Chain A
Amino acid sequence: MTALLSVEGLRLGYARADVVHGIGLAVQRGSIVSLIGSNGAGKTTILRSLSGLMKPRAGSVRWSHGETVEIAGEAAHRIARRGIVQVPEGRQVFANMTVAENLRLGAYHVATPEAARRQEAVVARFPRLGERLRQQAGYLSGGEQQMLAMGRALMAEPVLLLLDEPSMGLAPLIVEEIFAIIASLRAEGRTILLVEQNASAALAIADYAYVLETGRIRLQGEAAEVARNPEVTAAYLGV
């Protein structure tokens, strides 16, 4: 089966240093693929290149939704319009705008009546956002901002959702809530590439996992298998 997204030989870097050294990965339609690794392993850099925020130095990124196209190096706004939507690290909600305006921007290319319908669906999923539609996003709590960032991405009805550290800096109860929502999105058939430092939570809901170490794939396999790997349990699961 052709993967929805398939990456080969991806090389990424800042200034003179390479950060990611020619990695390959594949994301099958309808699955959650998790990318785990310690701080500085290159996880966020990889996501930024997939969403177009960063240009790869080498390698190919193939997108097979309908026809298969090469999207490495394409501008971020074009990649977003293909249905690859990133929830960036640190949420990056539009702090000066209201919750409703943030959501509207998620469906920027959609006519207003359709955007309103999608907003209803997002609010049904995140009722707390519904109570705060007129509030300025900058005043929301960290957990609410994460929900808003995810809700905003869902407004685009993405084919592939790229989640960058959705649990970062959040209280354990909120993390549980966020991961329950991620699991429910998969149950609805969405495809998710999840980058997480919280390896145990990520491996618990993922189908497939890659372990990244200093810009190279150290290990990959079914998430359950990876979770049982002694190296992984020692290094990331604190067992």
Chain B
Amino acid sequence: MRPTGTEALRAVQTALTEIIGPELQTAFAQDTAQMLQMLLESVITEFDGAAQDLVEDNATLASLLEEFRTVASATGSTSQELSKAIKESGEALARPDPGSIAISELAARNKELRAALETAVQALERVFEDPECESLAPIRGAMYQHLREVAARGWSFWDVASFREYMMKHRAKRTV
């Protein structure tokens, strides 16, 4: 369908800039319009790749949780946090993947998997200095690597101000 969702949202942005913006009389209204522009930009940059990102993230998360269960179970650690995280990972993995690529279903599955990852990351931080758990360092690193990739994705207003050089360096590192 044309205009596509992205094209329609761009039309809203253009109207905000060219038609509505000049009519706004107060600094507060102008600031709100600018906020709306940025809100739309964040939606637009997410829109096209949202399903693909969720499908890939869910696969990565499942793989990380599977590996975590295997490695953590082999440590012999008596940490209750670790046991809880192993159990929650197993429960999350046992739930079926959504049968569709509707964003809502993919996002609900993503939420389940990230909840298990949250518990796992907390447990890994708690046993970080435990010599019995040294073998967990690689999976901790892999989990944070995934979280970094998700956090660096898309557009952010920070990228044009405080995070400008930081994100340039970050992206340069990724392309090397």
Same complex for A and B? Answer: no
